[in-house]
Structure 1
Amino acid sequence: MSIKIVFHECYYNSRYAMDPAASEGRLDGIMKIIKRKSEVYEIITPNPAGEAEILRAHGRNHCERVKQDTLLYELAVLAAGGAIMAAEKAYDGNPAFAVIRPPGHHASADSCWGFCHFNNMAISLLKLYSDKKIKKAFILDFDLHTGDGNINILENRDDGFIVSILNPASAERGNYLREVEAYMKDITDVDIFAASAGFDQGIDDWGALLYPEDYAELGRLMKEYSKKLCKGRRYAILKGGYNHGVIGLITDSFCKGFA
């Protein structure tokens, strides 16, 4: 099965911030491989998220603070729109990977840090929930850094939406993969699988832990258990990953298992 790659040429723009996620050339290695493998990947172009979609996850004051920087806001709502498109494609039965930035899993309702501004994952899942498509979701957040924004917005909600989140903690690669599978084996009722796909845990990145084949296994596990539990509905959103020389290879490895 081919994967829908959600991407907009505007994501190449590095002028919106001065941080490792926004650095020049970071997405080039990913998109070079994707564009070369047209038989595997189908690139689809998103539209910006609307303000109402942003406000499902964030307070108005936070939204207004981001809006003060015109370029940052333009990229942030486009990234949120990309996450929504990936979620909707996944719900319709098409595995999707959103190659977007800025990332978002450190953005809480009224604050943000860690190169994040709007919580793309929360915005996308809340769109599906608002549309009455899903009631329960599972997030595998394999970024090096725990996605506190995901937790703050999506766990322990009072509106009936149930979201479980795994941020694997194992410091040995074999145990890391076993931790993920053990968690998935215990899931019994879920409507969609989503991944905060941070590749900074890679052996050649900040975390120095996971190899390309480990990312392929993470993708495979998401595929296997989403097929068992929710008709294969699954999507992933790019988060961390800062070694420009390997991020394309690692993304491709993940997608091979995920497809």
Structure 2
Amino acid sequence: MELQPIFSPPSSVGNACFRMRHQICMSMNHHMCKSDARNRVFLRLQSEYSFKISRGSIYCSNFSENNPTTPSISETTDAKVIYSVAPAMGHNKESHPECNSRVPAIMDALEKVELTSKFRGSEVIELQSLRPASVDDIASVHAKAYVSGLEKVMDQASEKGLIFIDGSGPTYATPTTFQESLLAAGAGTSLVDSVVAASKVSHNPPVGFALIRPPGHHAVPKGPMGFCVFGNVAIAARYAQRAHGLKRVFIIDFDVHHGNGTNDAFYDDPDIFFLSTHQDGSYPGTGKIDQVGRGAGEGATLNLPLPGGSGDIAMRTVFDEVIAPCAQRFKPDIILVSAGYDGHVLDPLASLQYTTGTYYMLASSIKQLAKDLCGGRCVFFLEGGYNLTSLSYSVADSFRAFLGEPSLAADFDDPAILYDEPSKMVKQAIQKIKHIHSL
């Protein structure tokens, strides 16, 4: 792991930190406390386990295998959405697109349109004070040398304020990155626990949404990449198999960039189907249409690069003609979603033209797909999305889709900024992928 130190400290989190209602509570092993600087970061860690239900929220502290963080059956009876919030407020770099304002912006929007536990009671549950992922959880996807190496460089990050942990430069670390990345991954596995538990007593379990960062789908088994530290959705897939016996996992990645880390983790695995739609030619340049898996996993990877300018019509067609038929044929036990909102027309890092309505359609359609195929078991994981306004309102509209309520996209989207989609090129790509995968 190549390290490139930066000698200026990370920027202040500003008022965003105080807007967050989420309280990070992590259990710490003695080996995580190797310096006074790191100890100071975690002075408020708690060590006693308890549950407290307040306005639809679930609080817990100190996590062990004997004390899972899942809500009780009665708490999820009426729930339609269960979400976790791990904002990684200490993992921040000034002027970086993947900054610590992202999750607070989403929470502000959810509050504004009254979609949080406070306003929705038993319909919307917030799972708080989350169980961090264990090192073994991370090592189910990533090399142990990478995991231990990242933990060790936290002392260097404490000394220098901020370092780069990816040789190409875009992925940084601060003194809290290791612990906050464990928490992000744990927020996902905790939701898997909750959704699976609810599915055992209800045909309509809540959809899970992990509002987490750092994102994960670029992180390769050997290390970090492209803003991503640990592969959150990949870790959750292995966890679903190991902890719950859900053998067949279907992963949908609609981030504007190819989820190369998830792709690589399961490229030879026939039991995890990875399907990525992404902008053709965008970072990191992987995800070619003929990359379909290897060995026993051949056919269990589907990459569909879409031309720049693809929008709502393209994605609706892709869902109907590619995503749904693949899932129906695969017959998954659970659906996991790398939910990147950086394909929005307002997002600065790409040139697709999805709208808030596109994401409402995807959320509604994927929820129905899970209900039809795998008992409603479905968890979304936040990936990209760097225009804070389009990100936050698109996530809010996804929540409305989960709740079965009408979209508010018309109040936000401006059709005047859209242009004609490259329909011919989209059709050609879809026809090619259907031929390759015999759809």
Cα deviation, residue 132, structure 1? 4.3
For 2:127, the equivalent position in structure 1 comes to 44
For 2:324, the equivalent position in structure 1 comes to 184
For 2:275, the equivalent position in structure 1 comes to 166
For 2:415, the equivalent position in structure 1 comes to none
Q: Partners of 1:73 and 1:98 in 2: how far apart?
A: 18
Q: Partners of 1:214 and 1:222 in 2: how far apart?
A: 12
3-state DSSP of counterpart to 2:229: coil
For 2:227, the equivalent position in structure 1 comes to 115
TM-score normalised over the length of structure 2: 0.55
Q: Partners of 1:190 and 1:236 in 2: how far apart?
A: 15
3-state DSSP of counterpart to 2:83: strand
| Conservation of the 8 A alpha-carbon contact between 2:102 and 2:388 | yes
| Conservation of the 8 A alpha-carbon contact between 2:106 and 2:395 | yes
Q: Partners of 1:25 and 1:131 in 2: how far apart?
A: 33
For 2:215, the equivalent position in structure 1 comes to 103
For 2:157, the equivalent position in structure 1 comes to none
What are the equivalent positions in structure 2 for 1:83-102 lying under 5 Å apart?
Answer: 83-92=188-197, 93=199, 94-102=206-214
| Conservation of the 8 A alpha-carbon contact between 2:252 and 2:338 | yes
Stretches (4+) displaced over 4 A? none
Q: Partners of 2:84 and 2:100 in 1: how far apart?
A: 19
For 1:232, the equivalent position in structure 2 comes to 376
What are the equivalent positions in structure 2 for 1:133-152 lying under 5 Å apart?
Answer: 133-152=245-264
| Conservation of the 8 A alpha-carbon contact between 1:223 and 1:232 | yes
In the alignment, residue 223 of structure 1 is paired with which amino acid?
K
Structure 1: gaps spanning 5 or more residues = none
For 1:20, the equivalent position in structure 2 comes to 97
* Aligned-residue RMSD, C-alpha: 1.8
| Bigger radius of gyration among the two | 2
| Conservation of the 8 A alpha-carbon contact between 2:315 and 2:358 | no
For 2:346, the equivalent position in structure 1 comes to 204
| Conservation of the 8 A alpha-carbon contact between 1:83 and 1:98 | yes
Q: Partners of 2:255 and 2:367 in 1: how far apart?
A: 18
Q: Partners of 2:135 and 2:92 in 1: how far apart?
A: 19
Cα deviation, residue 255, structure 1? 2.2
3-state DSSP of counterpart to 2:306: coil
| Conservation of the 8 A alpha-carbon contact between 2:347 and 2:387 | yes
| Conservation of the 8 A alpha-carbon contact between 1:119 and 1:150 | yes
Deviation string 1:177-232 (CA, Å, 9 cap, x unpaired) is 21123221232311011110100001111334111111000011111111111011
| Conservation of the 8 A alpha-carbon contact between 1:34 and 1:41 | no
Deviation string 1:145-176 (CA, Å, 9 cap, x unpaired) is 0000001112313xxx6111221233422122
3-state DSSP of counterpart to 1:108: coil
Cα deviation, residue 125, structure 1? 1.1
In the alignment, residue 81 of structure 2 is paired with which amino acid?
I
Q: Which of the residues 337, 345, 352 maps onto 1:195? A: 337
The alpha-carbon distance between structure 1 residues 247 and 24, as it changes in their structure 2 partners (threshold 3 A), is same
Is 1:7 the equivalent of 2:143? no
| Conservation of the 8 A alpha-carbon contact between 1:87 and 1:125 | no
Identical-pair percentage = 24
The alpha-carbon distance between structure 1 residues 122 and 211, as it changes in their structure 2 partners (threshold 3 A), is same
Count of matched residue pairs: 253
